[in-house]
Structures are given as C-alpha cells and as structure tokens.
Amino acid sequence: MNRSLFSVATRVTFSLALLSVTTTLVAYRLADRPRRDVLELQRKRSICESLAISCSLHAGRRDTEAIEANLQSVIRRNPDIASARLVKGDGVVVAEIGDHQRHWHLTTTGASTEHCIQVPISDSGKQWGRLEISFTSAQQDRFARWLHHPVTVMGLATVVLNGLLFRWYLGKILTYLNPSTAVPPHVRSTIDTFSEGVAVIDNSGRIVLANRAFAKSVLLTTEDVIGKRLDRFAWQAEADQPLPWNVSVLGTNQSTSLRLSHDQLGERTYLVSASVIKDDHNKRRGVIVSFDDITGMVQKREELRYMLTELQRSRDELTERNRELQVLATRDPLTSCLNRRTFFEVFDREWNHATRAKLPLSCAMVDIDFFKSINDKYGHSKGDKVLRTVAATLNSSVSSQHVVCRYGGEEFCILMQSTDIDGGERVAEKLRKAISDLDFGPLKVTASLGVSAISLGGSSPQELLDQADKCLYVAKRNGRNQVVRWDDVPEDMSAEEKPVDRLEPEESVPYAAVASLISALAYRHADTAAHSTRVAELAVATARGLMSVKDAYILEIGALLHDIGKIGVPDSILLKPGPLTEEEWQVMLVHDRIGVEIIDSAFCNSQLQDILRYHHLHYLRSDSGDQLPQGEAIPLGARIVAIADAYDAIVSDRVYRKGRSQAAAFEELRRCSGTQFDPDLVERFIQTVTDHRTLDLPMTSKLTAMQIGIQIDHLTKAVDDEDRAGIVSLASRLRATAAHCQITAIEDVAAALHAAAAAGDEITDLLDLTSELVVLCQQTQRVYAQAPALQACDSTQLSSVGS
C-alpha cells in the first residue's frame, strides 16, 4: 500500500484500530479459560458425592462408626471442609464432625451454596437422610474472585496490552510524524518566509519542525529532516565549544557561529541562536534554533581584515618612505649633514629659545682651505671624499646637541646650543686640529673657522651668521688654518671688508613662514614649486662671493618665492596642457603683482620685496619713462633671479614642449645679454653652472614624491575615519597632482576613488581603491627615490654656493 495515498491521520487511525482488535482478541483468549470458582465448586461437589455414596453404603449396614471414621478421613484430606454432619430423615444426627452449628447456614429445604452443600442419602430407593458439609467461608477471597472474573480479566488484559502496544507504536510513529500538520497554515507560511533557517527540536535533540531555509542548508527536504537528530549533521565549532542547542537544553539561551561543509555548497558559516521552549508550567519542552547564513559577511570581514592589514602595512611602508624622503629633503646627500633650509629652521627655533630663556648660543663657519685647487688638481671624486671625511669629522667631534650643516660647497656651519663665545672658540679649535690631522696621503687639508655668539651683539640669526662669515674671511686673510672670533675682529677691518649697515637693520625673514608659503605653493602646483627651488639653488650658487651670507639668504628666499603669486592663478590656466591665449597670458602676468602683495603682507623686508618686484625688469630698456630702475640700479638679487629663472624655464619640460639643452640655454642667455640680462652676471652664471656640472634634469621628483606621500597619508587616515568628505577632497587633489605630473595610473585610480566616494559606495569598495592607489603611489615614490633626477636635484643643492 502506497503511504503517500493516505494522510497521516488515516494511517494512524487504521494502525490504532488494528492494535485495538489485536489486544481484544488476546484479552478474550486470556478470559476464555475455565473459571476457578466453577472448578472449585465441581471439586466440592465431587467430594460431597463421593462421601455421600460411602455414607449410603455404611448407612445400609447401620455402621455409624464407619460413617464417622470416613467423615474424619475426608476432612483430614480436605482442609477447606469446616464441618460435616450426617442426619437421618427423622432429624436424628448420626455423626457430626467440627462445629457444624456455626458453619452451617442452610435450612433443611434450602438449596446448596458454594460453601454449604447438602447431599441426600438413599437406602433401598428411599431417602434415608442427608449429608451436610460446610466449607470454610470465602469472604476474604472476594477480590480474588472478582479479579479472576472473565470480564475483569478481559478488561485488564485489554488495558495492559493496549497501553504497551500504543506506547510502542506512538513512540515509533511520533518520531516521524510531521508536526507541521498541527501548525496553522499561515504560521507555517510565515516560518517558511524567514531567510534564516529555523528548526525546533525536542529534549532528545530530534527535529520536530523545520522550515525550507534550514532544509535547503542541509540539502534535504522539509519532510526528510523531521525526526533526525540535529547533532548528526557535520557542524564544526570552535575547540571545546559545545553546540548551542545542547547548552540551551540545559536552560540558557546561546548564540555562536558554526561551520557546515558540503560537497556541493562548500563550507558555509552560520550564526546559530538557540532558545529554550517552555510550557505553561515552566517545564522545558524543547529548543528552537535559528541558522543565519553569514558566509558572505564572514568572507567580507576576512577580506576587510586582509585589506586593513595590507593598508596598515602599506601605510607603515608609506610612513617609512616618507621618512626616507624627509631625510632626503633635510639632509645633504653627500655628507649627511643638514642642508641649508633645514638648518635655517633649526637656527630660527634655537635662536627664539635662547633669547626667551636667556641662554648662550654660538655659531661657527668652517671653510676648507684651497678646496677649489683640490678639485682642479685631484678631481671632483677626491674633492667629494674630502667633503665626506671632513663632514664625518665635524659630526663626530661635536656634542650631540650641536648641529652641523653643509652650508654650501666646501663650507660648513655649526650651531652650538648652550655654548658661549669661549666655549665656541674651544670647539672650533678642536675641530681645526681634527681636520688638520686627517690623512689624505700627499694631500694636506686644513680649514679656517670663524666664531660668533649671541652675546656679541647679533640681533638675528642672519646677523650672527654674517659675523661668523666675516670672522672666516679674516681667518683666511690672515693665513688660513686658524680660528677667529668676532670680538677679535678689528672694527675697521670688518667695516672695510664687509660693509653692513647696522643703523637701520632690515626685519628678519623667519624661515618657518617661508617654508609654509613653499608648502602651499607645492600643494597648489608642484611644478612651480620645483622650478622655484631650482632657481633658488642656481641663484645662490651664482651670488657666492658677490654678497654677504645675510644677503645670500634673502636672495634664496626671494628666488624660492618669486612665483608665489601663482597661488592666485586659476587651475584652468595654471594647469592648461598647451600654449596660453593672449587673454590667459594677461591673467598669468597678474601673478607677479599677487606675489609682491603676499610678500609685502608677510614680511617687512624691502630687499626681499625688491627681488620680487623687479626680477622681471629688463637690464636695459629703450623706454625709461616708467621711473623703474634699469641697469646696475636694478637690485643685484633681482638681476640674478632673472637669469636663473630664464635658464630653468628654457631647460625644463613644459606640458606643451620639451626642455632645450644646456648649450641652447647658454646661447639664448648670451643672445639676450646686455638687453634683458646683466652681461657680467650672465657669464658668471654660465661659469657657475659649468663648473659645478649642474644637470638639466627636472627637480620635481622629490617634491612630487613628498607631495604624493603626504596626500596618501592623509587619504588613508580619512578612509580609516570613514571621512567621505575628506576622501572626496583628497582624491580630487591627488588626481590633479597626478594629472599635472602625467602619472596616468594614479590619475585614473584617484578619479575612480573620487567618484566612488562621492556616490556613497560602501567603505569596503573605497578600501579596495585606496589600497590600489597606495600601491601605485609607493611605486612612484620608489622610482623617484631611486631615479637620477632626485640625485640631480640634491647635487644641485650640493653646489648651490659653489667653491
């Protein structure tokens, strides 16, 4: 018979009917057997009949003694006989055994009962008398008689057999009986709509109800999972962690994650929650368990953890790369001493601290004697070795608090904190002896040193450097290889050799403010900042020997800031990939006026203002009605910046053209010599560039790498903080920088990141793009850090002051 043709109720009803018939038949067979009371009555009758026959025989012979003996013998053999009496027809008692009066309850004409039986005795066909036998009373055996009654036996047998069989059958059938038939259809539909799997188990751990989602997760149908133990599936938990429904059976609600492996579905992860089901009497009836498939979330979490790890690793690598770039930006690559700009920042800071705390501060200028002849005679490689060795000697001979700077060419500067003029002189003498003791074979190297201190009247860091530089000049004039301190320099000699107007000193130019403007310009337009840096290096190298250290510092600042006005030029013009129109040129020319206004408001230094104001003036002009200076009246710094600016513009690449060769640049400068440029300075500039082997490679490498590194550092922090506005802004900046530097790969990814962040994409998607962007930027930094362009940039800085 096909079970699918009948409902569960029909099958159960039919099975119970069969069991009922079976138990009834068995009970009937148990009840259909000889009754004990009937058998007992038959036995008693048989005894009475046998005794009556015997008594009849003895009565015919009138043998009363035999009758009495026979009665006693029968009573002895049958203990249940209480008494016996033989009575003749006339009422005369022939024989009596036992207390018959007490046990006999029948009248003469009464019918025999179960306990009192009388049997007539005949003699010659006539009734001679009667035999009365009383058996023990059965009052105490009523329950036994009731228990052995057929109806009782059948009823008890039916109850016991039905109980046993029904218990066995229902225990069997309820294991596989689908309890969903007892669940209302709308409740069942609601459970099946759950996206997570739901299973209800009894206290033995067997599934009594499950929805389609759970059945699907174990690759079975809802009918097949019913009756199975939930533990039989290959759940994988953490080590020593019990399954949540087993803990819940103990009385507490549990939630944890479990893994389940399938050949078809692979390994899936579920968030499993188990809750105890109790009845109205607070007794535990089972556990309801939910299975939420979190495989996708776990995979995303692992991917996110991996991306965060990679991002952290990239960030650490980026930080390390930025640190290396910072070292390259602050250290001289040949000697590892501080470069000029970083030294000025430290000098300003230490000067301010010393003046506020009223602490001593000394400065020493060191110049290697006859260094130019060393280069000429032994070559530049030997000169570089001398520079490295002298720098190492200076660094190892001074205190850790002292700062050693390669000021330019063969000149070094040492800043000595908490050191007065006497201490500074002792340090300088120690350095002089250490340098003179260096062994270069047949080459003898000495150095001249000039020392000054804040206590000797210097009003600014520039003036203190100027004093040390004048002492150095005196030391060289007096025969070299000696130390001269500022208070030992004759007043008339210092005035003659280094005329300085101290009546109306110019306001100082804090380098921190200069660095801020340069950073702003680099962030606005990296190429312009790189161009300004190269112009500054070339200008300072050309001015060496033409002006004091203080004036050279102002010249360097003026060259660095000569294009600061481009901050106010629109991106559409500043970043245009092609030649400018006439109208755009007019807008571009305004940047000179903007730059002068920025310098006027930031620094009260007329010398610096004049460099920015006049560096575009031609040396000689036919029309002088504008009252502007020309010829030698143009400040020296402005004339030098004009030549360096033009040279770098010629040799540098532009978006719309390639840079020209150094020879072509020299030819163009000479062609404009005497009209646009000072002819003497042109030749000096050419000689300076030639002597120091200035390479016409772009200097944007370091600045671009640093700028990208800084922006990426900010970008990763913005992603960590989920700062979408910051991500949009930084991605836009990075895209503009990459576009301007023609780094297409970074530009494309930055544009995609900008679009994704602006569109509100998930932070995980932004992490993917950020990770890709970090890798590209790191590759760019590695290229820039290893490229010859970066070395050319630093070698330009090496020779900025010249020998």
pLDDT tens by residue, 183-234: 566 767 777 888 888 888 888 888 888 888 888 888 888 788 888 888 888 8
The rounded distance, in Å, linking the Cα atoms of 570 and 567 is 8
- Could you tell me what percent of the chain has a pLDDT over 70? 78
Evaluate whether 719 touches 758 at the Cβ level (below 8 Å).
no
> What local confidence, expressed as pLDDT, does residue 625 receive?
55
> What local confidence, expressed as pLDDT, does residue 40 receive?
73
The rounded distance, in Å, linking the Cα atoms of 435 and 438 is 5
Residue 416 vs residues 408, 421, 422, 466, 612: alpha-carbon distances, Å: 19, 10, 12, 16, 34
> What local confidence, expressed as pLDDT, does residue 330 receive?
85
* CA nearest to 712, candidates 320, 303, 328, 331: 320
Angle ∠(145,149,152) on CA atoms, nearest 5: 115
Amino acid in the structure at residue 449: L
Amino acid in the structure at residue 48: C
Q: Are strands 447-453 and 116-123 parallel, antiparallel or unpaired?
A: unpaired
Residue 523 has pLDDT above 90, yes or no: no
Residue 789 has pLDDT above 50, yes or no: no
Q: What is the pLDDT of residues 289-327, one digit of tens each?
A: 888 888 888 888 888 888 888 888 888 888 888 888 777
> What local confidence, expressed as pLDDT, does residue 683 receive?
92
The rounded distance, in Å, linking the Cα atoms of 111 and 113 is 6
Provide, for the chain, the percentages of residues in helix, strand and coil under a 3-state DSSP scheme, each rounded to the nearest 5. 60, 15, 25
Residue 779 has pLDDT above 70, yes or no: no
Q: Does the domain made of 702-798 have the CATH classification 1.20.1630?
A: no
Evaluate whether 728 touches 790 at the Cβ level (below 8 Å).
no
What are phi and psi for residue 653, nearest 5 degrees?
-75, 145
> What local confidence, expressed as pLDDT, does residue 76 receive?
79
The rounded distance, in Å, linking the Cα atoms of 415 and 453 is 10
Torsion sign over Cα 525, 530, 531, 532: positive
The rounded distance, in Å, linking the Cα atoms of 210 and 226 is 7
* CA nearest to 116, candidates 100, 128, 105: 105
Tallying the residues shown for the chain, one arrives at 803
Count CB-CB contacts under 10 A for residue 689: 25
* Collapsed DSSP state (helix, strand, coil) of residue 708: helix
What are phi and psi for residue 56, nearest 5 degrees?
-60, -40
> What local confidence, expressed as pLDDT, does residue 121 receive?
79
Residue 765 has pLDDT above 90, yes or no: no
Evaluate whether 484 touches 451 at the Cβ level (below 8 Å).
yes
Domains 36-145 and 331-497 share a fold: no
**What are the residues whose beta carbons fall under 8 Å from the beta carbon of 53, sequence distance 6 or more?**
none
Amino acid in the structure at residue 234: A
Torsion sign over Cα 376, 380, 381, 384: positive
Q: Does the domain made of 36-145 have the CATH classification 2.40.30.10?
A: no
Residue 509 vs residues 542, 599, 614, 742: alpha-carbon distances, Å: 21, 10, 19, 35
* CA nearest to 487, candidates 402, 362, 403, 367: 362
The residue with tokens 């050949």 is: 263
CA 379 vs. chain centroid, Å, equals: 56
* CA nearest to 85, candidates 107, 101, 105, 61: 101
**What are the residues whose beta carbons fall under 8 Å from the beta carbon of 170, sequence distance 6 or more?**
none
**Greater pLDDT, 405 or 724:** 405
In the predicted model, what is the mean pLDDT of the chain?
78
The residue with tokens 């203002």 is: 609
Q: Which CATH class, in words, describes the domain spanning 511-696?
A: mainly alpha
Residue 513 vs residues 349, 450, 510, 561: alpha-carbon distances, Å: 12, 29, 6, 11
> What local confidence, expressed as pLDDT, does residue 698 receive?
35
Report the side by side order of strands in the sheet with 447-453: 403-408, 411-417, 361-368, 447-453, 483-485
Residue 37 vs residues 30, 40, 169, 624: alpha-carbon distances, Å: 16, 5, 37, 159
Q: Worst-scoring range by mean pLDDT, 119-123, 259-263, 607-611, 790-794?
A: 790-794
The rounded distance, in Å, linking the Cα atoms of 587 and 248 is 78
* Collapsed DSSP state (helix, strand, coil) of residue 87: strand
Measure the CA dihedral 561/567/573/576, to 10°: 70
Q: Which helix (H) or strand (E) holds 134?
A: strand 126-135
- Could you tell me what percent of the chain has a pLDDT over 90? 16
* CA nearest to 178, candidates 20, 3, 2, 1: 3
Measure the CA dihedral 620/624/630/631, to 10°: 50
Residue 496 — pLDDT band, cuts 50, 70, 90? Answer: very low
The rounded distance, in Å, linking the Cα atoms of 656 and 369 is 47
Residue 641 vs residues 558, 622, 743: alpha-carbon distances, Å: 8, 22, 30
What region, left, alpha or beta, does residue 240 occupy, with left being phi > 0 and alpha being psi -120 to 50 degrees?
A: left
Report the side by side order of strands in the sheet with 266-278: 207-210, 197-201, 284-293, 266-278, 254-262, 235-236
Give the domain 179-293 fold. Answer: Beta-Lactamase (3.30.450)
Structure tokens at 487: 């208070």
- Mean pLDDT (whole number) for 690-715: 57
**Greater pLDDT, 153 or 35:** 153
Residue 553 — pLDDT band, cuts 50, 70, 90? Answer: confident
Residue 657 vs residues 156, 651, 667, 740: alpha-carbon distances, Å: 116, 11, 19, 14
Structure tokens at 596: 């002068």
Q: Of residues 410, 463, 537, 747, which has the active-site annotation? A: 410
> What local confidence, expressed as pLDDT, does residue 529 receive?
80
Q: What is the pLDDT of residues 502-521, one digit of tens each?
A: 333 445 676 667 777 777 77
Q: Are strands 483-485 and 447-453 parallel, antiparallel or unpaired?
A: parallel
Q: Which helix (H) or strand (E) holds 414?
A: strand 411-417
Evaluate whether 26 touches 157 at the Cβ level (below 8 Å).
yes
> What local confidence, expressed as pLDDT, does residue 453 receive?
95
Amino acid in the structure at residue 728: V
Among 354-358, 600-604, 651-655, 758-762, name the most confident range.
354-358
The rounded distance, in Å, linking the Cα atoms of 793 and 701 is 8
User: Where are the alpha helices (H) located in 97-240, listed in sequence order?
Assistant: 100-103, 142-147, 150-176, 185-192, 212-217, 222-225
User: Where are the alpha helices (H) located in 62-149, listed in sequence order?
Assistant: 64-77, 100-103, 142-147
Q: Which helix (H) or strand (E) holds 461?
A: helix 461-477
- Mean pLDDT (whole number) for 608-623: 82
Q: Which CATH class, in words, describes the domain spanning 331-497?
A: alpha beta
Q: Which helix (H) or strand (E) holds 521?
A: helix 511-524
Q: Worst-scoring range by mean pLDDT, 17-26, 344-353, 424-433?
A: 17-26
> What local confidence, expressed as pLDDT, does residue 505 receive?
41
Is 504 a residue of the active site? no
> What local confidence, expressed as pLDDT, does residue 578 receive?
65
Residue 411 — pLDDT band, cuts 50, 70, 90? Answer: very high
Residue 796 — pLDDT band, cuts 50, 70, 90? Answer: very low
Structure tokens at 129: 């008398």
Report the side by side order of strands in the sheet with 93-97: 93-97, 81-88, 126-135, 116-123
Structure tokens at 236: 């994988």
Domain ranges of the chain: 3-33+149-176, 36-145, 179-293, 331-497, 511-696, 702-798
Structure tokens at 618: 């031609």
Residue 267 — pLDDT band, cuts 50, 70, 90? Answer: confident
The rounded distance, in Å, linking the Cα atoms of 180 and 281 is 24
What are phi and psi for residue 694, nearest 5 degrees?
-65, 120
